[in-house]
A = this chain, B = another copy of it.
Amino acid sequence: MKVIEFWFSIGSTYTYLSVTRLTELGQNNLVKFSWHPFSVRKIMQQMDNIPFPPSKKVKLDYMWRDIERRAEMHGLEAKVPAPYPLKEFDLANRIAIVGMEEGWCAKYTRATYRRWFISSQEAGLEPNISESLKEIGQETNRIIKLANSEEIKNKYSKQTDIAVSKGIFGSPSFIVDGEVFWGDDRLEHAISWSKKSKN
């Protein structure tokens, strides 16, 4: 089965749509997604890019309305605006890195996004962390300790370096045969691309 790489940062708003749509789209299209957390914030800082400064309030308002309409189009729940930006962006993602190492990255990411976008519980903070980990059968104290370890911090940093080396600059990004597709609105294109290639 064809594998599409799904690169994401918890904290990215549009990523909610992808996280929520991926399982069904994968089943319907016979493709598999591999989940790769990284720090989009670090990449944006390297590019001197601030996502939504106050001078861009119009754009920020547009983003929430666009997400609301697209969620509706896809039949998904979304209570917007969700808390934003995330105060503990890196912790939320380092937990996903632990999950990547232990095999529950997708489950955790779906659980934490659902609480963030449906229950307005900010990802990376309590009670979102504990409740999400409990839901997927993980023990909070052990995971937080790991997420704050040097080993996981290094792994997170390395993941981000790999993302950069692949030409990624935003979340979500999909990679198919070396082609980067950026944005939840490119997900269908990435899937159709995966079908026309041979490998």
Listed in ascending order, the chain A residues whose CB lies under 8 Å from chain B are 46-49, 53, 55-56, 58-59, 61-62, 65-66, 69-70, 73, 167, 169, 179-182, 185-186, 189, 192-193
Task: Name the B residues within 8 Å of A66 (CB-CB).
Answer: 181-182, 186
Number of copies: 2
Known contacts A73-B189, A185-B185; A167 and B48 CB within 8 A of each other = no
CB neighbours of A59 from chain B (8 A):
47, 169
Between-chain CB contacts (< 8 Å), 30 pairs: A46-B55, A47-B55, A47-B56, A47-B58, A47-B59, A48-B53, A48-B55, A49-B56, A56-B169, A58-B167, A58-B169, A59-B169, A61-B167, A62-B167, A62-B169, A62-B180, A62-B182, A65-B179, A65-B180, A66-B181, A66-B182, A66-B186, A69-B179, A69-B189, A69-B193, A70-B189, A73-B189, A73-B192, A185-B185, A185-B186
